[in-house]
Amino acid sequence: MNLGQIRDLTLKLVNSYSADGVQLPLSDTADIRLAFNDFLNTAYNKAIQYDPVEAVFSITQNPIPNLLNVYDSFNLKQHLDEDIIVSAIGVKAYYFEVDHPANVYLEENINGVWINLATVVVTGIASFTAYSGLITPSNIANTVRMRFSGSYPYNIRRTALYGYTFASSADIPKFQPYISYPLPSDYIRLNKLVQNSDNRLHQTMIDYSIEKRSLVINYFYSGSFDAYYFKRPDPLVLDTDVPEIQVQNHNYLAYFAAGQWLFSNGQQANGIVLLNLFDGFMREITPAIDEVNSSIVNANNW
């Protein structure tokens, strides 16, 4: 059924569709027609709680390699009175996070002498803040180091040296142990996350979380991920719009719309009867989609 057909059923339920076998003119039902869409979409939003509408969005995760030891680079380190140094060969970009003022130097070893390529002077922070940039060594075969220095204690985490250049510093990947992907605007809740990898792996994931309307996946998982989620459908507006719930449940929406109209227009008893019927119909719905119950685990025992 489309919106127009559900409206016709609503008019019949409130006995405003016809008289003496003749369909009433539009002017006689103008008020209920004006209110109908709001009542219908309220019913629609209630119905999807019992007959959820599923959608899918896909992401690809394949982190750019870090030239440093990945596990150690995620770990927290503390600068006190001695410089902390990490180094690699073939460096073209860097990323790090510190939580207080610091001086960080990117230096190239040229014939045994450390030559400065870039200096990051960090001031005015009191929580972890990310910094990244591009560098151009004179010889890609030379060792480049990132030296954390300064006069005060601070913490360091998530250090990365990349062997690739990027269009701009803004394009340098954030080196995070868990990577966040924004959820669609129509997202209600996640049903399941399926991983598809090049080694023909196809499995339902349990190692993920939902945080601040983002899907968060462990850095160490690579591949394509299909996130099946229950969505909030677009409102029904046009006469030709069709609800996305199961076809056999379309006519139930008219019972709610009719009940609301009667209840709001002095026929509370009749309105309650129809609203109770709607509630009963909802409880009898068999969803077309099986929900997946999953728990969150930590694959790396962090």
> What tens digit of pLDDT does each residue of 226-280 get?
999 999 999 999 999 999 999 999 999 999 999 999 999 989 999 999 999 999 9
Once rounded to an integer, what is the mean pLDDT over residues 126-150?
Answer: 97
Average pLDDT, stretch 59-70?
94
Measured distance CA(209)–CA(219) in Å, rounded: 13
Token output for 72: 């150690």
Strand 178-182 and strand 143-149: the pairing is unpaired
Distances in Å between the alpha carbon of 217 and those of 46, 223, 290, 297?
31, 11, 23, 11
Report the first-to-last Cα separation within the chain, whole angstroms: 52
Signed CA dihedral, 187, 193, 198, 200: sign only = negative
Q: Can you give the pLDDT at residue 280?
A: 96
Q: Is the pLDDT of residue 289 over 80?
A: no
Q: What residues form DSSP beta bridges with 236? A: none
- The string of DSSP codes covering 191-215 is EEEEEE-TTS-EEE--SEEEETTEE
pLDDT at residue 287, rounded to an integer = 86
Say what the pLDDT of residue 292 is: 63
Q: What are the pLDDT digits (tens) for 3-35?
A: 999 999 999 998 864 554 656 667 678 899 999
pLDDT tens-digit series, residues 189-228: 999 999 987 667 888 999 999 999 999 999 999 899 999 9
Q: What is the pLDDT of residue 201?
A: 80
Is the predicted pLDDT of residue 299 greater than 70, yes or no? no
Question: Stretch 101-123: mean pLDDT, rounded?
Answer: 98
Give the largest Cα separation in the chain, rounded: 102
* Two tokens, residue 69: 């030891």
pLDDT at residue 16, rounded to an integer: 63
Q: At what angle do helices 30-47 and 268-283 cross, to 10 degrees?
A: 30
Helices 252-264, 30-47: inter-axial angle, 10-degree rounding: 130
How many whole angstroms from its chain centre is CA 242?
Answer: 26
Residue pair 95/162 in contact (Cβ under 8 Å)? The answer is yes
Ranking 72-86, 103-117, 167-181, 188-202 by mean pLDDT, the lowest is 188-202
The pLDDT assigned to 25 comes to 66
Whether the predicted pLDDT of 296 surpasses 70: no
Q: What is the pLDDT of residues 170-186, one digit of tens each?
A: 999 999 999 999 999 99
Q: Which residue has the tokens 């990577």?
A: 179
Domains with residue ranges and CATH for the chain: 3-54+232-283 (no CATH), 55-63+183-231 (no CATH), 70-171 (2.60.120.260)
Percent pLDDT > 70 in the chain is 91
The rounded mean pLDDT for the chain is: 91
Reported confidence tier of residue 300, pLDDT bands at 50, 70, 90: very low
Q: pLDDT > 90: what percent of the chain? A: 84
Supply the pTM of this predicted model: 0.79
207: amino acid identity, one letter? D
